[in-house]
Structure 1
Amino acid sequence: MKNYLKISGLALIALVGMMSCSKNDDAAMEGESYNTSFEVTDAPIDNAEVEAVFVTITNVSVDGKSLEGFNATTVNLAALVNGKTEALGNLDLQAKSYSSIVFELDFDKDVNGDAPGCYVEKANGEKDALVASSNKITINDTFEVLANATNVIVIDFDLRKTIKEEKDGLSSDFNFVTMAELTAGIRTVNAELTGKISGSANDANNTSDKIIVYAYEKGTFNADVETRGKGESEVTFANAVTSAEVKGLSGSYSLDFLEEGEYELIFASYKEDDDSEFYFNALLNVESTTGLNLGAIEVSSALQISANVTVTGTK
């Protein structure tokens, strides 16, 4: 009987010890953090008058915690296209979803103390100050931090959706769109979970002075809605995930940091008026040179898809 009690006691102690270790292991897993870096990029603004767009960022926080290693910086967002990024800082974060990044901007002065802090630089060298109703921009787009991975969170500050132009006679005044539109115009992705679509557009018939290609989630493009302009700032192609300008002699383009899923590509023609400004002309009919279905392109992480097209006319 004594031996039985002794054995039972030892078994109980072992069981308690195992449960304790299991709880400690679970707690360790839940509390483990992964170094996560943050970078900023941009989708191009389709306005020939805009030479550069500078924003002065004074703080970036995630769930209330400021990025480590971040120093106030004045960034030319217009230069960060075709996959180019600029590092902001990093944080140790647990592996889970996050949905709150706050950018703090200085509208008055840049990092050198010169005014203004945020502005459009026009082709003639003039600075046009950019302001918004608040210097704090809360980005509510969700991003995922992965366990045991290289986590690089890319913040896509889409200038086409976040800057508006107001005409007054022959002059233009640029400004940020409304706060709601500004928040909606910025997306966040974990680069580890993204791919890209790149290629060229051959416009042998010279249908356009400029061609912009837009990436939409499959089945979400509505021509009547997207070409008409949306919201108070009348942003066209507002529901596009991202966009790129077809450039150079080869007519190349690159749609970067696309999250996994199916996409459709929309090619749009722009014409240049007498004031050297571009305006939307028409949607383009295009054909893939390799038989790729341009209305259902499957993108997966770390995959680069080539989508070369020939322009056959306007719609």
Structure 2
Amino acid sequence: MDAESYDTTFKITDAPIDNANVEAVFVTVSSVKVDGTTLEGFNRTTFDLAALVNGETETLGNLELEAGSYSNIELELDYATDAAGNTPGCYVELANGEKDQLEASASKISITDTFEVFASTTNEIIIDFDLRKTIKEEQGTVSNNFEFVSMSELAAGIRTVNGEMAGKISGSANDPENTSDKIVVYAYEKGTFNADLENEGQGESNVMFANAVTSSEVSGLNNGYNLSFLKEGEYELVFASYAQDGDSFGFTALLEVESTTGLNLGVINITSAVQINANVTITGTK
């Protein structure tokens, strides 16, 4: 007797990029496969990943999958042409309207992060394409020049989670002393943050805060942030200060913060479908 299969929807989301001159990041996905099977209902699509932040998603397609663990998603990108046939297919759009083409050494990205399909009527698998980890700006050039990171870093910068078993941390960060031009909040699995390592660029592409699960920029009238689609577990929050230098923001210091409700920001327990409110006040720099 064949095992029962369950309808599984695949969606894409993003964590933000740290550059004030970037208006949009368009990526053209020509194929999505799970364990070698193409998603049903998927059509070649061009996404503005920079718009899919703070929990926003777009649907890729569906598959009937048996309950269990999976760890083989393949995204194929088209660097040359977008879904409408225009060039290029993957690019950064700058504030002045200029397009800077994005390319990598291969077109197929193998995502090996594990996700679960449950024996239930609803399974939504979130593919988090973290722009902060997957795109780099070449230094020492007169104009903006962006590229994808190495293929191994590109695969590592994309995570997957079943949205039915994910939670969220959101809140506001009040900065009464105006310590920063920009504040970014990073979520780490408890005990994994090492300031000496994370404050420096890591890997071939010098990715900072490389081991953070996800991040969110503090923004808006309420100085809000949203850390979405967190797998069940314990997390710690790290707040970082950035100063603007031309079109870019550079890391300056880690921030001292206090929870306004007494929440222990070093041990936040996330369970499925739970939203934790973590409002803080910035008290200084470390």
TM above 0.5, yes or no, is yes
2:221 to 238, 249, 259: 249
What pairs with 1:1-315 in structure 2 (closer than 5 Å)? Answer: 27-28=1-2, 31-273=3-245, 275-315=246-286
In structure 1, the residue corresponding to 2:228 is in which secondary structure? Answer: strand
Q: For residues 276 and 54 of structure 1, what CA distance do their matches in structure 2 show? A: 19
Q: For residues 199 and 47 of structure 1, what CA distance do their matches in structure 2 show? A: 23
Displacement of 1:138 in angstroms is 0.4
8 Å CA contact 2:19, 2:247 repeated in 1: no
Q: What are structure 1's unaligned runs of at least 5 residues?
A: 1-26
Q: For residues 139 and 221 of structure 1, what CA distance do their matches in structure 2 show? A: 23
Displacement of 1:112 in angstroms is 1.0
Cα deviation digits, residues 81-112 of structure 1 (max 9, x gap): 00000000000000010000000111000011
Q: What are structure 2's unaligned runs of at least 5 residues?
A: none
Q: Give TM-score, length-normalised by structure 1.
A: 0.90
Q: For residues 277 and 217 of structure 1, what CA distance do their matches in structure 2 show? A: 28
RMSD across aligned C-alpha pairs, in angstroms?
A: 0.8
Please tell me the residue identity of whatever aligns with 1:287: E
Displacement of 1:171 in angstroms is 1.6
Q: For residues 226 and 187 of structure 2, what CA distance do their matches in structure 1 show? A: 10
In structure 2, the residue corresponding to 1:168 is in which secondary structure? Answer: coil
Q: For residues 151 and 284 of structure 2, what CA distance do their matches in structure 1 show? A: 38
Q: For residues 179 and 50 of structure 1, what CA distance do their matches in structure 2 show? A: 22
Please tell me the residue identity of whatever aligns with 1:258: L
From the two aligned structures, give the one with the greater strand fraction. 2
In structure 2, the residue corresponding to 1:239 is in which secondary structure? Answer: coil
8 Å CA contact 2:26, 2:89 repeated in 1: yes
Which residue of structure 2 aligns with residue 7 of structure 1?
A: none
Corresponding residue pairs, total: 286
Q: For residues 26 and 233 of structure 2, what CA distance do their matches in structure 1 show? A: 32
Q: Give TM-score, length-normalised by structure 2.
A: 0.99
Query: Deviation above 3 Å: which 4+ runs of structure 1?
Result: none
Q: Which has the larger radius of gyration?
A: 1
Cα deviation digits, residues 215-235 of structure 1 (max 9, x gap): 000010001100101101000
Q: For residues 276 and 51 of structure 1, what CA distance do their matches in structure 2 show? A: 11
In structure 1, the residue corresponding to 2:24 is in which secondary structure? Answer: strand
Displacement of 1:167 in angstroms is 2.2
Please tell me the residue identity of whatever aligns with 1:63: D
Q: For residues 54 and 237 of structure 1, what CA distance do their matches in structure 2 show? A: 24
Cα deviation digits, residues 187-208 of structure 1 (max 9, x gap): 0000011000000000010000
